[in-house]
Amino acid sequence: MNEKKIRVAVLFGGVSSEHEISLMSVQSVLRNMPEDYEVLTIGITKDGRWVEYTGSIDEITDQKWEQDKNLRTAVVSPDRSHKGILLIDKDQVTVVPVDICFPVLHGKHGEDGTIQGLFQLAGIPFVGCNMISSANCMDKEMTHTILEANGIKMAKWVIVNGEKMNDFENFAKDAEEKLGYPMFVKPANAGSSVGVGKAHNREELKSACETALKEDYKAVVEECIEMQEVETAVLGNGDPKAAGVVGELVPVVEFYTYEAKYIDGTTVLHIPGRVSEETSLKLRQTAEKAFKAIGCEGFSRIDFFVRKSDGEVILNEINTIPGFTSISMYPKLWDYCGVSYSELIDRLIRLGLERK
């Protein structure tokens, strides 16, 4: 008798500025899903419609999936007796129990704790960090506050919001005294360099703050560091481990923009990163410490700066649902260490089930 397969609900798309990257990531995830799992694929359109998608994986990235004639409305039921998805077709509702959800969703409403809270409410296991750690990693102000309280070095920073913009000259003076130019301005709750700007003077600072505050109600302004950009990949629950190598990003443009990351190919990746063994070890140990300090589970990509002047390791940010595209650093680092893409997916699902 064949053993019943574990049913995984894979969610993609989402109401996020990173919607298109989710489509790229989920293609790779679905193509490499181990045969041990039965997959229920749930797409979320940009305007927030949830549907079951049963069409070709190849049609996901060009948005053709949204025109598939077999789409059915899909809803995660908060009723714990269901522990699954409600599929709605006209006046017929089918309850499809699932063993675990795998949100392949980037940015807002994907890795900020909102959908994780829904899974927790529904009593459905899921891949990745829980609601609170997801929210704290997405919110750059909270990330700074929690990690610095745990002795983890981050860039100097100040916070800006609408109220401070009403008295911009005083805010700018304070930021200049604390940070000096140039400065980076980042929306507090956005991922993949969306809305990020670099300011070399007060006029550019105002413009960058205005741009960042279109993405979120507050933004973090940080000192600019002459550095290498290095990324680590952490995997696990109670005893997380970082991959045995780190990766280095070398943007050809002035800084690592959303376009450089995903669209125009103006970033060079080095695996292993060009750092000493001592620095690599410190990066990986600091990543594991940060992962535990902020309460992560499952997986995260943790990004660092290595300051060129003295080699100091400075944590930049934690990505709780890192990119899973064919060029993404997280799966590439594990693949270099001998963990294939399919094996990595299997481990992530097992870690989610283990928490149950």
So what's the pLDDT on residue 255? 52
- Please say whether the structural domain 157-223 has been given the CATH code 3.40.30.10: no
Nearest to 138 by CA among 164, 108, 177: 108
At 266, the pLDDT band (50, 70, 90 cuts) reads low
Contacting residues for 148 by C-beta, under 8 A, at least 6 apart: 154
Decide which of 3.40.50.2300, 3.40.605.10, 2.20.25.650, 3.30.470.20 is the CATH code for 136-154+226-355: 3.30.470.20
pLDDT averaged over the chain? Answer: 93
**Whether the predicted pLDDT of 213 surpasses 50:** yes
Q: How far apart are CA 279 and CA 340, in angstroms?
A: 26
**Whether the predicted pLDDT of 46 surpasses 60:** yes
Average of per-residue pLDDT across 188-214: 91
Q: How far apart are CA 180 and CA 200, in angstroms?
A: 9
SS3 content of the chain, % helix, strand, coil (to 5): 35, 30, 40
Phi, psi angle pair for 262, to nearest 5°: -125, -20
User: pLDDT tens digits, residue range 271-284?
Assistant: 999 999 999 999 99
**Whether the predicted pLDDT of 256 surpasses 50:** no
Contacting residues for 11 by C-beta, under 8 A, at least 6 apart: 42, 43, 44, 101, 102, 103, 104, 105, 115
3-state secondary structure of 187: strand
Average of per-residue pLDDT across 152-172: 97
Cβ(245)–Cβ(273) below 8 Å? yes
3-state secondary structure of 183: strand
In the chain, where are the structural domains located?
A: 6-126, 136-154+226-355, 157-223
So what's the pLDDT on residue 172? 98
So what's the pLDDT on residue 322? 94
| Burial state string for 158-183 with b = 16 or more CB within 10 A and e = fewer than 16 | bebbeebeeebeebbeebeeebeeeb
3-state secondary structure of 251: strand
Q: How far apart are CA 164 and CA 160, in angstroms?
A: 6
User: pLDDT tens digits, residue range 295-324?
Assistant: 999 999 999 999 999 999 999 999 999 999
Contacting residues for 31 by C-beta, under 8 A, at least 6 apart: 57
Helix intervals (H) in the chain: 19-31, 114-122, 131-138, 140-149, 162-165, 168-178, 202-212, 258-262, 277-293, 329-336, 341-355
- Please say whether the structural domain 6-126 has been given the CATH code 3.40.50.20: yes
User: pLDDT tens digits, residue range 327-345?
Assistant: 899 999 999 999 999 999 9
Q: How is 43-71 classified by DSSP, letter by letter?
A: EE-TT--EEE--S-GGGTTTTGGGG-TT-
